[in-house]
Amino acid sequence: MNVARPLAQLIGELERLPGVGPKSAQRLAYHVLRMTVEDVQRLSDALCQAKELLKLCEACQNVSAEPLCEICRDARRDPHIICVVSEPRDIAALERVNEFKGHYHVLHGLLSPMDGVGPEQLKMRELIERLRGEIHEVILATNPTLEGDATALYLAKLIKPIGIKVTRLAHGMPVGAELDYADSATLMSALQYRREM
């Protein structure tokens, strides 16, 4: 196909995004061409600003515009309990349930040697660092998949010798279910009935 170079470039960049195939990349690109200059500017500003302004929270590694995220700054929350999740979107799922009032820690992935992910590729050192403070309980809320369970088990063996209580979300959640898709009632009972590891 003979496409003008800037258009081909735009399609190429869009195609690199996850879940965007050649066809949707083309459709999006033509859509951008039909947008007003102002709208395109707004979109491109939003992209750049998100990248520029958003960093990881120094404490919990969640995405944040400030050095410390809103949750870590919230004085009403209990800083002695840390709930460990795999992705930032898992925090959103747990927050919707409105049951948990402690702090979080985002690993940004799960152990998976097949994909070259070991402890160094995850925010584990940062988690262990935080445990030097006064922490009473660590809740391991990784998904109940093979990799989620393996990561939880690895962390439990690492953390328990420090003398901190380690719990895992109760398996009210169907095996293989993701936090992100679990309904609120399931999540709430999974939190209430978490078991000690």
Residues found near Zn ion in the complex (CB under 5 A): 57, 59-60, 62, 69, 72
- Which of 56, 119, 126, 165 is the binder for other proteins (CB under 8 A)? 119
Choosing among other proteins, Zn ion, none, which partner's interface includes residue 72 (Cβ < 5 to 8 Å by kind)? Zn ion
Residue 21 binds other proteins (CB under 8 A) = no
> Are the beta carbons of 137 and 158 closer than 8 angstroms?
no
**What's the rounded Cα separation, in Å, for the pair 120 and 182?**
29
> Are the beta carbons of 153 and 183 closer than 8 angstroms?
no
Q: Which of the 8 DSSP states describes residue 86?
A: S
Please say which residue, 79 or 154, places its beta carbon nearer to other proteins: 154
**What's the rounded Cα separation, in Å, for the pair 17 and 190?**
34
Choosing among Zn ion, other proteins, none, which partner's interface includes residue 146 (Cβ < 5 to 8 Å by kind)? other proteins
Binding pattern to other proteins, positions 152-181, x when CB under 8 A? -xx--xx-----------------------
